[in-house]
Amino acid sequence: MKTKVIDITKQYDEALGESARLLQSGELVAIPTETVYGLAANAFDEAAVKKIYSAKGRPSDNPLIVHISDIDSLAPLVAEVPEKVKITAQKFWPGPLTMIMKKSDKIPNAVSGGLDTVAVRMPENRFARAIIENAGVPLAAPSANLSGSPSPTNAKYVLSDMDGRIPLIIDGGGCKIGVESTVISFAGEKPVLLRPGGVTLEEITGLIGEVELADAVLNELKEGEKAASPGMKYKHYAPKADITVIKGGLDGFLKYVKGRDCFVLCFEGEEGLFEKCVTYGRENSAFSQANRLFDALRELDEKGAKKVYARCPEISGMGLAVYNRLIRSAGFNIIEL
Ligand code: TXA
Ligand code: MG
């Protein structure tokens, strides 16, 4: 299959027309969002949704997020809209937040991975919204990377993973946030944060009170343990390089890596201290780290890095999302100095 790329910032009408045509005929289209690029299909078309799993090499029990462009599209997808979802949607939609609810029977099993729940998000990116609106159906979309590798934050990385596997990539430039959406389940008694992301835990608890933190956000699942979110049990965000996260300050880090033949994943301004390094944002700005992390992981591969030691981010606010992705990319190799 030949993969076409259309730059929506230059060919707006063609991008919308082609994506609507393909999505309505059961094909896949990679689309920009404010978090990461998504690999989209008509959420109501089970055969189309199945193509997502084969294009990504994704295990079929890992459910997909359904993307909508207006709030009226939510009710038909779910059994019921809980009060806390209404409040949260009003404040954080459109935006980098995904909410899980009991599903309606309109949601095919291929979307929900066989669960009785569905994850829904209304993205903020104006191109994403226009593409959904023009397609006229909600779009099921995971991140547009091959299963296991870092999520793509620009069209170049979508192409390197998906070339020949899908008919169309819509290039909308870089992603504003750079890590995936926050995922919260409202399907049980208490809301549970399953994946930290662009909306912080602190912002959500400030609005609706207590939100439980799923164990798997900060810890590796133990053998045989059931994941609240199936995606958490799979290897994730991993470049080819072997990464170790070093907790502690810069001085200890410098002593630790001294004399080792390795690459360093460090903060901006620290480049001069290391022979071989890639930076991921500023030490005091979790937003800049989120924005750079996945690109930095791919750059390490491009540079042929084999062994990498990474500086550790702050683990609060947006930093929780950065840390969650970084420790997964490192296969939970963490050293505390
Ligand atoms: O920002 C994002 O969320 C991006 C863009 C494209 O919207 N999408 C994304 O999708 O990151 P994906 O498939 O890479 O991650 C979705 C996560 C997975 O960990 C999956 O297991 C979880 O959400 N998930 C989806 N539906 C679920 C459900 N019904 N119950 C529990 N977890 C669910
Ligand atoms: Mg993903």
Give a yes or no: residue 68 inside a domain.
yes
Same domain, 131 and 73: yes
Residue 252 lies in a domain: yes
Q: What is the mean pLDDT of residues 185-192?
A: 97
Under the banding of pLDDT at 50, 70 and 90, the label for residue 237 is confident
Question: Which residue's C-alpha comes closest to atom 20 of ligand 1?
Answer: 231
Distance 262 CA to ligand 2 centre (A): 28
Exposure of 37 by Cβ count < 10 A (0-12 exposed, 13-18 middle, 19+ buried)?
Answer: buried
> 15: CA distance to ligand 2 center in Å?
24
pLDDT tens readout for residues 96-135? 999 999 999 999 999 999 999 999 999 999 999 999 999 9
Are 189 and 274 part of one and the same domain? no
What's the CA-to-centroid distance between 130 and ligand 1, angstroms?
A: 21
- % residues pLDDT > 70 (the chain): 99
Mean pLDDT estimate for the chain: 96
Q: Do 55 and 177 belong together in one domain?
A: yes
Domain identity same for 106 and 153: yes
Look at residue 25 in the predicted model and tell me its pLDDT. 98
Q: Which residues line ligand 1 (CB under 6 A)?
A: 33, 35-36, 38, 62-65, 98, 100, 112, 115, 117-119, 121, 141-143, 180-181, 183, 194-195, 229-231
Q: Which among 184, 217, 250 is the end of a domain?
A: 217
Q: 110 lies in a domain?
A: yes
Residue nearest to atom 31 of ligand 1 (CA): 229
pLDDT at 225 over 90: no
What is the Å distance from ligand 2's center to 252 Cα? Answer: 33
Q: Which ligand is nearest to the CA of 234?
A: 1
Residue 230 is predicted with a pLDDT of 77
Pair (257, 321) in one structural domain = yes
Q: How many domains does the chain have?
A: 2
Query: What is the C-alpha to C-alpha distance for residues 100 and 117, in angstroms, rounded to an integer?
Result: 6
Q: How confident is the model at residue 227 (pLDDT cuts 50, 70, 90)?
A: confident
Distant-in-sequence, close-in-space partners of 37: CB < 8 Å, separation ≥ 6? 30, 31, 143, 144, 151, 152, 153, 154, 155, 157, 158, 169, 175
With beta carbons less than 8 A apart as the criterion, state whether 42 and 134 touch. Answer: no
Question: Distance, CA 143 to ligand 2 centroid (Å)?
Answer: 4
In this structure, the answer to whether residues 212 and 269 fall within a common structural domain is no
Query: Which range has the worst mean pLDDT, 74-78, 100-104, 178-182, 234-238?
Result: 234-238
232 located within any domain: no
- Nearest ligand to the CA atom of 232: 1
Q: What is the pLDDT of residue 235?
A: 67
| Cα 64 from chain centroid (whole Å) | 11
Whether 133 and 210 map to the same domain: the answer is yes
Strand order in the sheet with 334-336: 277-279, 263-266, 307-311, 242-247, 334-336
- Give the range among 59-63, 160-164, 192-196, 272-276 with minimum mean pLDDT: 59-63
pLDDT of residue 221: 82
pLDDT of res. 229: 79
Check whether residue 187 and residue 318 sit in a common domain. no
Q: Which ligand is nearest to the CA of 98?
A: 1
Of residues 236 and 159, more confidence is placed in 159
Of the three residues 201, 217, 233, the one that is the final residue of a domain is 217
* Euclidean distance between CA atoms 302 and 220, whole angstroms: 28
Query: Is the domain of 142 the same as that of 9?
Result: yes
* Mean pLDDT confidence for 50-73: 96
What pLDDT, on a 0 to 100 scale, did the predictor assign at position 37? 98
Distance 151 CA to ligand 2 centre (A): 6
Strand partners, 65: 119
Percentage of the chain lying above the pLDDT 90 cut: 92
* Residue 24 domain flag: yes
Query: Is the pLDDT assigned to residue 228 strictly greater than 70?
Result: yes
Whether 313 and 165 map to the same domain: the answer is no
Mean pLDDT of 201-221: 95
Q: Tell me, yes or no, whether 11 lies in a domain.
A: yes
Q: Please report the atom of ligand 1 found closest to the CA of residue 119.
A: 26
Question: Within this chain, do residues 142 and 276 fall inside the same structural domain, yes or no?
Answer: no
CATH code, domain with 275 = 3.40.50.11030
Mean pLDDT computed over 39-48? 98
Look at residue 236 and tell me if it is in a domain.
no
Q: Which ligand is nearest to the CA of 194?
A: 1
- Among 161, 183, 217, the domain boundary falls at 217
Distance 142 CA to ligand 2 centre (A): 6
Is the confidence at residue 233, as pLDDT, over 80?
no
The domain of 296 spans 242-336
For residue 229, is it within any domain? no
pLDDT at 232 over 90: no
Q: Of all protein residues, whose CA lies closest to atom 10 belonging to ligand 1? A: 142
- Determine the residue of 98, 116, 131, 182 to mutate for testing ligand 1's pocket, defined as the one with the most ligand atoms within 8 A of the Cβ atom: 98
**CATH label of the domain that carries residue 58:** 3.90.870.10
The token duo for 15 is 């991008």
**pLDDT value at residue 238:** 82
CB 131 within 8 A of CB 170: yes
Mean pLDDT, residues 13-29 taken together: 98
185 and 267 co-located in one domain: no
